[in-house]
Chains A and B, each alone.
Chain A
Amino acid sequence: MERPLTQHITFPPLEIRQYEAIGGYQAVRKAVRHMQPKDVTALVKESNMKGRGGAGFSTGMKWSFVPMDVPGPKYLVANADEMEPGTFKDRWLLEGNPHQLLEGMIVAAYAIQATEAFVFLRWAYKDAAVAIRKAIAEAYDAGYLGKDILGTGYSLEMHLHTGVGRYMCGEETALLNSLEGKRATPRAKPPFPQVSGLFGKPTIVNNVETLSFIPHIINKGAEWFKSLSRTADGGTKIYGVSGRVRKPGAWELPMGVTMRELIEEYAGGMKEGYGFRGVLPGGASTDFLIDKHMDIQLDFAGVAAAGSRLGTGTMVVLDDQTCPVGFVHNLEHFFAQESCGFCTPCREGLPWTEKLLWAIEQGRGREEDLELLLRHTEWLGPGNTFCALAPGAMEPLQSALKYFRDDFERHIREHRCPYHDPEPAIPASVHLHHTHHL
């Protein structure tokens, strides 16, 4: 099985000479010397590469939206602000093979004729920062960055920018605002960043995994890329599993492996004494899937058909001894805290759901709370909020209400968490069914 993305991952990562020795920077040489920018874009488009950040949009298509005839700077940004709970795939690539990312970035930048490129890195990835900084310096020394790259006349400057720890910056427009030194609030689309991005200039923001794949597509072609996959979505994918499984970890596998293979084979199945309840297939902001979905193929369409999203492809497994209410509360706490505070539903709605879940988990829930939670999952849906943060936050909640409703009801009925609390939190005689009028 080919593992182009991860086969050369080492700790510490390859230095530039070692990287070149295994064929590194050949894609840069090929692209900038022998290909027109539009041909690079066309090749990536032909490969049907879909963005690995979670949305699954065609990478080549995205590049093709950049207006090539406008004067002034253009930018390429690698979104390395990996903060989705349970997701650690980019970290592997960043710490283990930074030159692969840089090479992909240079090729992508060339395709859109960007003048400057940025790696926007999660602040907590300290080792990655060291690795990337070193790799950038090496690439400058080797002439892959800077003025007149490989004597072709194409120039590119690259910078590492470490964020300050806001989940919001994973959203590409908030990332751009943050990179400009503004508050990390998202922007309305349209206009899309491809047209008006960083400092109002055409900008492409791609995920680390996406960019890391670019050199291989350049070197080996679109057909090869497609052949790596078991489904229509080409390539390999880094899948991850965390939770109470025997061997939590991340693996580069053909796109479209089944969930069963992943959890039972690669992750070794559930730990001794734990049963499987469900899984968030693509990070914290995706809908739960349950045992009946075990045989779906893990590609963008397959997971969507099951009612969730492939997202980052890194799953969080819920076992049968963890309270689903507490589990979801933990997630909503995270999302409420990471809301940027720009739009009302997210800023006010998420803390409300968090408080409702906490009340239920503490045995202080009320019957009507479930209705309120359900309504929030509808009200905070796509289009109602300014960006995708709150709709994403509602995905685990809405599916938990669907698949684990009994658990919620039992909390409320028994005024306690059946997983943690032997005693009810409040005497059953207290009448709770009143609302506050204005």
Chain B
Amino acid sequence: MTIYIDNKPYEVKPGSNLLEAVLQQGMNLPYFCWHPALGSVGACRQCAVKVFKDEDDKTGRLVMGCMEPVKDNLRLSVEDPGAKAFREQVIGWLMTNHPHDCAVCDEGGSCHLQDMTVMTGHTCRHYRFSKRTYENQDLGPFLNHEMNRCIQCYRCVRFYKDYAGGKDLNVFAAHNHVYFGRCENGTLESEFSGNLAEVCPTGVFTDKTLKSHYTRKWDMTWAPSVCQGCSLGCNTSAGERYGSLRQIANRYNGEVNGYFLCDRGRYGYEFVNSDQRILQPAIRPHSNGTVNKAHIVDQVAQRVKNGRTIGIGSPRASLESNFALKLLVGEDNFFLGVSGSDQDHASLALKILREGPARTPSLQEAGEADAVLILGEDLTNTAPMLALAVRQAVRRKPEADAMGQIHLSDWQDAAVREAVQDKHGPLFIFHTVPTKLDELAEDVRRGAPEHLARLGFAVAKALGADIDPVTHLSAEENALAEKIAASLMAAERPLIIGGYGSGCDHMMKAAANVAWALQQKGHNPMLSLTLPEVNSLGLEMLGGHRLDTAIDVLRQGEADTVIVLENDLYRRADAHLIDEIFLHAQDVILIDHLYNRTAEKATVLLPAGTFAEADGTVVNNEGRAQRFYQVFVPKGDVQESWRWCLQIAEKAQVRSLNGMHNLDDIDWAITTAMPSLAQLQHLAPHADFRINGQRIPREPHRYSGRTAMLANENVSELKPAEDVDTPLSFTMEGYRGEPPSPLIPFFWSPGWNSVQSVNKYQQEIGGHLHGGDPGIRLLEPHLNGGPKYFHEVPDTFVPVPGHVHIMPLYHIFGSEELSMYTHGIAKNAADYCCLYLNPDDIARWNITPGDWVTVEMDHHTCRLVATPNHWMPHGLAGVTAGMPHSPVVDLPVLAKMRVSD
């Protein structure tokens, strides 16, 4: 379709609006209320353009670009003097009450309002009367609130309520007293609240954690990064100054997280700056202070040379670090540092995705699903951004229905929402306890995980899966299975979600069976399986032995040294087992970045770089390999775990790692050794990549204070650090144009200093980044031959007299290790010592709610507080998984219970 912009013809996408069409051409047109993910509502009137009837029409008509659909041969003018004057005046109006406090505003320098003000040419204030002022609210630990800066674009409530399903942010009052906030002070309840800082075009909602160590956007050193908070691998930009990480910002990836992040991901970075960091190598007990790095590498190399060393990898370490350790200790001596159940889930997920015919969707594709079945997952707490995607997915069917009846475009947000009302597409959720998505579901089933998995098998059976019949279901349950099967069959893009969240691998099997049965019926189902950690799938793809067998090896004296990679083993198995490692091993060498319980006991500590101080690759639950880049050069001897391994290997003369020095070397080795990971070589440009002979700078060109910021330590300007691993530079010098998508440290474009500049990096507004979104999919469905169904239907859950079966319950704030170092996240976390029990069970056990009960497992006991939860089925109990100091680690588990004395 052709339209004429200021008399020049342009090809535009049918169905888009004029604002999108203009931005699409790389031109500038200011806007506020429109957002590519939120659509148009026409509130701010900023994107006004003139539209002309034909070539002879010289008068034209002022229209709002975001509200006007493109039409073939439509003629519009951005440069029309009347349109320009109106746009300038819109800023003039917005400025009547804006406090002009840019100099002390956190948004200053990355402010969309500033950018748009400059863009329209508004420089002179004609309003001479007093300004309206507001009182601000305390919105909790994540966001600062400064309502006086508000320009009433309504984006905050549209994101928070309409898009993310939040309930406690609203718009109050009317005329020029419109107020956006909560009805009273208090922490925002949505797990996606942090996005307000980016959705807000000015400084009303700003990142409170950034405020605690504030630095302007242009003064930070940035690198493209990947969130470490869960298995989804959302893309982030991480910014540093003075050796501390200051901010996590969204890094747009059209296939993964789009424009948004969850609060665990955005705020869970403060462990990088923690005073619990391991910054120097140490050998214990002989020297508790600092040790010469070369000496310690020698010492460790000696141990490795003896050939009695095993390595324990980690799902929170990169592929490179795990691989380097694996080669360092020898493939057969490498163990996966995850709990038994986590490993079961990861290996099962990999098998299903690798050998089955169902495609694992990207987050973006998941959001396009038109029917969803969730088996045993509380997504908001285990894979938050997938929950946000499901929120969008349930709108697809009613949206399509409405747009079939009324002539509407999908960007007409208010009109579409009006037509859709509160209708939802098919969503079915099976989970033991209530989840936040339940409010959108057509049907919700609760019960013991095994029981729910059986229902899942029944759905698969109803779809014709070649599996054993599911017996002993009620007529109503059978009818439900039939209903769900019919809904999935009627959908064009059904999505089945399973995962680790119930601690029950039958859930994943049920999910696979359902997806495969749909596949056999000729549908193209999506199958998304959640996993616990950022690199759970990557670690599983690398492969290694189970953690409990490492203990056996030590027990039997086959090894005497353990190298532990970025892992607190006490989170992986119950303490008595991990204690055995320390009992049997002469030396436990820990390469990690935080003093945790494992670090307290390790005999050698090697300080590892966090994601912000290291380069590496992780594989998300989709099977998408993604690269994160070092943000800054850490102080002291902190370095990438894989670099420690390489240095030790060099001294120990480990042939398989011979001659390897940088990231590319390891990646080359991985791709050579592992055909399943061969694609990695295409993941991102290699270290020698240059554009016009230049590196990509990590620092914005306005970076200030370079020659002065360390003058208190050294008055001479130090030579900037060299990056031998990547094409990024640690300076502000380098190529100023647009880098390849995996290498974008921050989004910036002339005149566009805020995150809105991402428009300039997209092939299509709101679409993929130029050159394709970062990351490479490593898993594609296996379509040859029929699916190998999981035939065996699980037994139903039967309570064991005198026992409780304890299942894990996950919490977005608390279940993840590293994010708990952020004060605000710890503050919002769940209780760690609660044992959630059915009230009838509590009565049956003759205990009072709030009593301490003693839970006896095979080899140890612990005490927990009996807490009523009427969703827990009889005989089942739940504890919040992963909380620091949680006495129960390897879940699920069958335990005896008695009332504590």
| Interface residues, chain A, with chain B CB atoms under 8 Å away | 70, 166, 168, 183, 187-188, 190-191, 195-196, 199-200, 336-345, 347-352, 355, 359, 372, 375, 379, 383-386, 435-438
Q: How far is the CB of A136 from chain B (nearest CB, A)?
A: 26
B177 within 8 A of A: yes
A188-B42 contact, Cβ under 8 Å, with A166-B174, A195-B406, A196-B406: yes
CA distance A183 to B170 in the complex (A): 11
Q: How far is the CB of B289 from chain A (nearest CB, A)?
A: 57
Identify B125's interface contact among A351, A383, A435, CB under 8 A.
A435
Q: How far is the CB of A355 from chain B (nearest CB, A)?
A: 5
Cβ contacts under 8 Å, B62 to chain A: 383-384
Cβ contacts under 8 Å, B412 to chain A: 188
B43–A437 contact, CB under 8 A?
Answer: no
Most B CB contacts (10 A, CB to CB) among A70, A200, A359, A435 go to: A200
A344–B127 contact, CB under 8 A?
Answer: no
Binary contact readout B51-87 vs A (1 if CB under 8 angstroms, 0 otherwise) = 0000000000111000100000000000000000010
- Chain A binder among B91-99, B200-208, B737-745: B91-99
B862 within 8 A of A: no
A341–B100 contact, CB under 8 A?
Answer: no
Binary contact readout B164-201 vs A (1 if CB under 8 angstroms, 0 otherwise) = 00000001011111100000000000000000000000
16 residue pairs of the A-B complex, CB under 8 angstroms, read: A196-B415, A196-B418, A200-B418, A200-B419, A338-B175, A341-B152, A344-B94, A345-B93, A347-B93, A348-B97, A348-B176, A352-B93, A352-B129, A383-B62, A435-B126, A436-B126
Cβ contacts under 8 Å, A436 to chain B: 125-128
Cβ contacts under 8 Å, A342 to chain B: 43, 154
Identify A200's interface contact among B44, B89, B127, B421, CB under 8 A.
B421
How many B residues have CB within 8 A of the partner chain? 50
Cβ contacts under 8 Å, B176 to chain A: 336, 339, 341, 347-348, 351
CA distance A347 to B93 in the complex (A): 9
CA distance A369 to B350 in the complex (A): 72
Cβ contacts under 8 Å, A199 to chain B: 421
A343-B124 contact, Cβ under 8 Å, with A183-B171, A187-B418, A188-B67: no
Q: How far is the CB of B156 from chain A (nearest CB, A)?
A: 14
B897 within 8 A of A: no
Residue of A nearest to B151 (CB): A344
CA distance A435 to B129 in the complex (A): 11
Residue of A nearest to B67 (CB): A188
Most B CB contacts (10 A, CB to CB) among A188, A200, A340, A344 go to: A344
Q: How far is the CB of B126 from chain A (nearest CB, A)?
A: 6
Binary contact readout B402-442 vs A (1 if CB under 8 angstroms, 0 otherwise) = 10011110001011001111000000000000000000000
Identify B414's interface contact among A70, A187, A350, A438, CB under 8 A.
A187
A438-B94 contact, Cβ under 8 Å, with A70-B405, A342-B43: no
Q: How far is the CB of A192 from chain B (nearest CB, A)?
A: 10
| Contact residues of B between 93 and 137, Cβ < 8 Å to A | 93-97, 100, 122-129
| Interface residues, chain B, with chain A CB atoms under 8 Å away | 41-46, 48, 61-63, 67, 86, 89-90, 93-97, 100, 122-129, 151-152, 154, 171, 173-178, 402, 405-408, 412, 414-415, 418-421
A344-B152 contact, Cβ under 8 Å, with A70-B405, A191-B408, A191-B415: yes
CA distance A339 to B171 in the complex (A): 15
B86–A379 contact, CB under 8 A?
Answer: yes
Q: How far is the CB of A352 from chain B (nearest CB, A)?
A: 6
Cβ contacts under 8 Å, A340 to chain B: 174-175
A337–B45 contact, CB under 8 A?
Answer: no
A200-B402 contact, Cβ under 8 Å, with A191-B415, A438-B100: yes
Identify B123's interface contact among A337, A383, A437, CB under 8 A.
A437
Cβ contacts under 8 Å, B48 to chain A: 384
CA distance A269 to B843 in the complex (A): 87
A348–B406 contact, CB under 8 A?
Answer: no
Cβ contacts under 8 Å, A438 to chain B: 95, 100, 122-125
A348–B93 contact, CB under 8 A?
Answer: yes
A188–B45 contact, CB under 8 A?
Answer: no
A-B contact count (CB 8 A): 119
CA distance A385 to B171 in the complex (A): 20
Q: How far is the CB of B423 from chain A (nearest CB, A)?
A: 9
Q: How far is the CB of B69 from chain A (nearest CB, A)?
A: 10
Q: How far is the CB of A117 from chain B (nearest CB, A)?
A: 19
Q: How far is the CB of B100 from chain A (nearest CB, A)?
A: 7
B125–A187 contact, CB under 8 A?
Answer: no
B126–A344 contact, CB under 8 A?
Answer: no
Cβ contacts under 8 Å, A437 to chain B: 123-125
CA distance A57 to B94 in the complex (A): 34
A383–B61 contact, CB under 8 A?
Answer: yes
Cβ contacts under 8 Å, B419 to chain A: 191, 196, 200
A341-B86 contact, Cβ under 8 Å, with A70-B405, A187-B415, A437-B125: no
A344–B420 contact, CB under 8 A?
Answer: no
B42–A343 contact, CB under 8 A?
Answer: yes
CA distance A165 to B192 in the complex (A): 36
Cβ contacts under 8 Å, B415 to chain A: 187-188, 190-191, 196
A386–B45 contact, CB under 8 A?
Answer: yes
CA distance A355 to B96 in the complex (A): 12
Residue of B nearest to A335 (CB): B175
CA distance A367 to B128 in the complex (A): 14
A379–B175 contact, CB under 8 A?
Answer: no
Residue of B nearest to A166 (CB): B174
A344–B45 contact, CB under 8 A?
Answer: yes
CA distance A352 to B97 in the complex (A): 10
A345-B90 contact, Cβ under 8 Å, with A385-B45, A437-B123: yes
Cβ contacts under 8 Å, A384 to chain B: 45, 48, 62, 86
A341–B89 contact, CB under 8 A?
Answer: no
CA distance A168 to B415 in the complex (A): 19
Q: How far is the CB of A386 from chain B (nearest CB, A)?
A: 6
B45–A341 contact, CB under 8 A?
Answer: no
A343–B421 contact, CB under 8 A?
Answer: no
Residue of A nearest to B41 (CB): A188
Cβ contacts under 8 Å, A379 to chain B: 86, 89
CA distance A196 to B63 in the complex (A): 22
Cβ contacts under 8 Å, B45 to chain A: 343-345, 384-386
B420–A200 contact, CB under 8 A?
Answer: yes
Cβ contacts under 8 Å, A187 to chain B: 414-415, 418
Most B CB contacts (10 A, CB to CB) among A166, A340, A347 go to: A347
Identify A344's interface contact among B90, B125, B405, CB under 8 A.
B90
CA distance A435 to B405 in the complex (A): 53
Cβ contacts under 8 Å, B408 to chain A: 191
Q: How far is the CB of A166 from chain B (nearest CB, A)?
A: 7
Residue of A nearest to B174 (CB): A341
Residue of B nearest to A438 (CB): B125
Q: How far is the CB of A186 from chain B (nearest CB, A)?
A: 10
Residue of B nearest to A189 (CB): B415
Cβ contacts under 8 Å, B173 to chain A: 341
Residue of A nearest to B173 (CB): A341
CA distance A327 to B86 in the complex (A): 28
Cβ contacts under 8 Å, B129 to chain A: 352, 355, 359
Q: How far is the CB of B739 from chain A (nearest CB, A)?
A: 34
Q: How far is the CB of A318 from chain B (nearest CB, A)?
A: 26
B128–A347 contact, CB under 8 A?
Answer: no
Residue of B nearest to A199 (CB): B421
Residue of A nearest to B170 (CB): A183
Identify B93's interface contact among A195, A349, A359, CB under 8 A.
A349
Cβ contacts under 8 Å, A196 to chain B: 406, 415, 418-419
Most A CB contacts (10 A, CB to CB) among B45, B414, B418 go to: B418
A386-B43 contact, Cβ under 8 Å, with A200-B419, A336-B175: yes
Most B CB contacts (10 A, CB to CB) among A168, A340, A386 go to: A386
CA distance A351 to B129 in the complex (A): 10
Known: A339-B176, A341-B178, A344-B46. 8 other contacts (CB 8 A): A200-B420, A337-B175, A338-B175, A347-B175, A352-B129, A383-B61, A384-B48, A436-B128
CA distance A168 to B97 in the complex (A): 23
Residue of A nearest to B423 (CB): A200
